[in-house]
């Protein structure tokens, strides 16, 4: 058993360098000799089982975002809250902002989340938006109103750090302005003013949430508007007529919409209204019950509850390691720390050793990506809806299509290769559109070389798989195992377009399986044989145990593997 533990943990770094030497061996072991080892075996403790606080976990995106982290947080919370003695749970969003998008479901109602933590579905959870988040108060107000219409009152279950970085329409206008000023060189953002807000926090020119609730708030924000107006005018730009994302109307109309920053009076009026809404919300609550408060004392309390095993905590990451500002692929990077290191910075409380297992989330049978950079394993597809003419011809009946209906129509597209048709099918049945942007995502082959690097840098200790049901029995699953340079030498993954230039991805084709049978599985042994083997191969190649598998689109479609959480 100790050798298996070494394979899972100590050997993970060796796999980062030498996994290419094991590809044939791993295929033979899994697919020929039926060595199906998935999960954390009994008797093997995780690396942080001793040092970490009981019932503490982090959920981190392993690839390029949109992996299904919110879903895993939701499933993990539900599992934790069944443990004897645990009375409540905490979910701590430690980074990101309105540029991030998680989707969870309540009674078949889709709830797209941006700034709100994914634990809001659980009545016994307290959800914290901590200090390293970038908060746009109007967007947050809209999210709270929409969420409460589905999940009920969130008072006393939602906390916003008064030290969180405050984003306004001024920072969003600045992002638009920089794109024009640099002739398009300032790319990679979502228009939500994330990098500008973080940059001004660092240069001490920005505001935090608490500043909006000071007595002199109007004078300070008025001065800031004047500064922006003057800077814009110097470049012959008019601040008032600059278009910025309108989150509220985008939600109502279900398509991207913008609004003008407006005059100083209009800008301050919007801030005044949202400020009053939050003040009124907190007016009848005690200091410890308010939405906006100092989160540091709460973490003291959480630690006490964890030590006494009366509570659990899940630290929820947004975006992914592949979008980290230093570890990602510029310009498609975010501005806050997407690894487990970000938890320490955001909470000013927890070190890595205090947290139990970090769970890295990835899509099982493919990757997806949105942005300027073309991933190494991309399957090139047109950006538009390839079935638009068919959908327009038959009306809304296409909305009732199942997986096979999509496949039947996509196979008729003569301009696409077999692999492109498969990617187009994935894009449709997996609903691969960004929660925040509404853009079609790029479909890519699963990239194990990148995953090994991201797993190493993020300090996760386990893996969670989503979208295992996005597979076909009649189509192989192509997986990138490693890269080589122009001389045929193995080249471990290194982030950055110039570092990857000229590299060749190497693939293996693994047997497909019936995704519909995956959806029926309630236990690991009920999965199709080739699905179990596929997971076993991934675990051997990455070197971390796969412990959670989502098997379908619904909350209840999940399998916890081996002794995890037992």
For 273-315, how does the pLDDT look when each residue is reduced to its tens digit (9 = 90+)?
999 999 999 888 888 889 999 999 999 999 999 999 999 999 9
Domain end call among 282, 303, 334: 282
State the CATH number of the domain containing residue 205: 1.10.300
The answer to whether residue 147 is domain-embedded is: no
Residues 439 and 450 in one domain: no
The answer to whether residue 273 is domain-embedded is: yes
Residue 71, annotated as binding a ligand = yes
Kindly tell me if the per-residue pLDDT of 4 is higher than 90: no
Instruction: For residue 259, name the pLDDT band (cuts at 50, 70, 90).
Output: very high
Residue 469, annotated as binding a ligand = yes
Mean pLDDT across the chain = 88
Q: Is the peptide bond before 460 cis (omega within 30 degrees of 0)?
A: no
Residue 337, annotated as binding a ligand = no
Residues 175 and 218 in one domain: yes
Mean pLDDT of 550-558: 90
Residue 242 CB contacts under 8 Å (≥ 6 apart), including other chains:
173, 176, 177, 232, 260, 261
Residue 439, annotated as binding a ligand = yes
What percent of the chain has a predicted confidence (pLDDT) above 90? 60
Kindly tell me if the per-residue pLDDT of 267 is higher than 80: yes
Residues 503 and 427 in one domain: no
Kindly tell me if the per-residue pLDDT of 57 is higher than 80: yes
> Choosing from 20, 26, 74, 102, which is the catalytic residue?
102
Q: What's the order of all strands across the beta sheet hosting 558-560?
A: 292-293, 158-161, 125-129, 88-93, 311-316, 56-61, 357-363, 462-466, 546-550, 558-560
Domain end call among 234, 264, 282: 282
The answer to whether residue 220 is domain-embedded is: yes
Tens of pLDDT, residues 369-418: 887 788 889 999 988 888 888 888 888 889 889 999 999 999 999 889 99
Q: Among 49-53, 208-212, 239-243, which is the least confidently predicted range?
A: 49-53
Residues 403 and 497 in one domain: no
pLDDT at position 301 is 95
pLDDT at position 326 is 85
Residue 441, annotated as binding a ligand = yes
Residue 68, annotated as binding a ligand = yes
Domain end call among 282, 298, 322: 282
251-254 own/partner pairs: CB under 8 Å, 24+ apart: 251/142, 251/146
> Choosing from 26, 66, 169, 557, which is the catalytic residue?
66
Active site residue 243: no
Task: Note down the domain range covering 511.
Answer: 1-42+362-366+445-566
Tens of pLDDT, residues 449-462: 999 999 999 999 89
Residues 171 and 257 in one domain: yes
**Alpha-carbon span 364 to 542, nearest angstrom:** 13
Mean pLDDT of 193-203: 91
Q: Collapsing DSSP states into helix, strand and coil, what is residue 174?
A: helix
Active site residue 66: yes
Residue 547, annotated as binding a ligand = no
Radius of gyration, alpha carbons of the chain: 24
Can you give the pTM of this predicted structure? Answer: 0.92
Residues 220 and 238 in one domain: yes
State the CATH number of the domain containing residue 524: 3.90.170.10
pLDDT at position 566 is 34
pLDDT at position 27 is 94
Kindly tell me if the per-residue pLDDT of 41 is higher than 90: no
- Burial class from Cβ neighbours inside 10 Å (0-12, 13-18, 19+) for residue 214 reads exposed
How many domains are contained in the chain? 3
pLDDT at position 183 is 60
pLDDT at position 564 is 41
């Amino acid at each position: 058993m100790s050798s298996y533990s070494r394979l899972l943990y100590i050997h993970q770094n060796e796999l980062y360098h030498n996994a290419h030497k094991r590809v044939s061996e791993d295929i033979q072991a899994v697919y020929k000799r039926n060595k199906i080892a998935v999960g954390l075996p009994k008797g093997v403790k995780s690396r942080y089982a001793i040092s970490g606080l009981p019932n503490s976990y982090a959920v981190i995106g392993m690839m390029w975002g949109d992996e299904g982290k919110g879903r895993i947080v939701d499933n993990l919370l539900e599992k934790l809250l069944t443990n004897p003695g645990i009375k409540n749970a905490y979910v701590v969003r430690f980074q990101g902002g309105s540029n991030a998008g998680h989707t969870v479901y309540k009674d078949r109602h889709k709830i797209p989340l941006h700034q709100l933590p994914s634990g809001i579905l659980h009545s016994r959870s307290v959800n914290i938006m901590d200090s390293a988040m970038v908060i746009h108060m109007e967007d947050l107000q809209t999210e709270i109103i929409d969420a409460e219409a589905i999940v009920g009152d969130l008072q006393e279950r939602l906390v916003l750090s008064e030290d969180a970085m405050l984003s306004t329409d001024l920072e969003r206008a600045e992002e638009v302005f920089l794109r024009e000023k640099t002739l398009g060189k300032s790319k990679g953002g979502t228009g939500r003013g994330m990098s500008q807000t973080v940059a001004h926090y660092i240069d001490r020119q920005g505001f935090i949430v608490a500043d909006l609730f000071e007595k002199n708030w109007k004078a300070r924000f008025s001065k800031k508007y004047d500064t922006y107006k003057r800077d814009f005018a110097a470049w012959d730009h008019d601040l008032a007529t600059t278009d910025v994302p309108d989150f509220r109307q985008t939600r109502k109309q279900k398509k991207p919409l913008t609004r003008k920053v407006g005059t100083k009076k209009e800008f301050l009026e919007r801030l005044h209204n949202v400020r009053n809404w939050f003040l009124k919300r907190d007016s009848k609550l005690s200091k410890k019950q308010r939405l906006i408060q100092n989160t540091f004392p709460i973490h003291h309390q959480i630690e006490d509850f964890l030590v006494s095993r009366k509570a659990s905590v899940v630290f929820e990451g947004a975006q992914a390691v592949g979008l980290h500002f230093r570890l990602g692929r510029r310009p498609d990077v975010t501005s806050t720390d997407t690894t487990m290191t970000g938890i320490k910075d955001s909470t000013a409380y927890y070190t890595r050793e205090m947290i139990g297992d970090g769970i890295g989330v990835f899509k099982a049978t493919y990757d997806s990506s949105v942005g300027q950079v073309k991933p190494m394993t991309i399957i090139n597809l047109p950006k538009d809806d390839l079935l638009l003419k068919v959908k327009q011809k038959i009306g809304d009946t296409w909305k009732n299509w199942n997986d096979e209906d999509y496949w039947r129509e996509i196979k008729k597209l003569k301009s696409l290769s077999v692999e492109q048709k498969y990617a187009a099918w994935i894009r449709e049945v997996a609903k691969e559109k960004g929660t925040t942007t509404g853009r079609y995502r790029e479909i890519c082959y699963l990239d194990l070389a990148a995953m090994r690097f991201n797993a190493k840098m993020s300090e996760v200790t386990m893996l969670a798989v989503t979208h295992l049901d996005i597979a076909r029995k009649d189509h192989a699953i192509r997986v990138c195992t490693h890269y080589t340079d122009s001389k045929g030498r193995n080249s471990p993954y290194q982030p950055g377009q110039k570092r990857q230039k000229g590299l060749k991805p190497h693939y293996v084709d693994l047997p497909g399986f019936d995704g519909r049978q995956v959806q029926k599985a309630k236990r690991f042994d009920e999965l199709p044989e080739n699905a179990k083997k596929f997971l076993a191969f991934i675990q051997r190649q990455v070197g971390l145990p796969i412990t959670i598998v989502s098997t379908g689109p619904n909350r209840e479609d999940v399998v916890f593997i081996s002794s995890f959480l037992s």
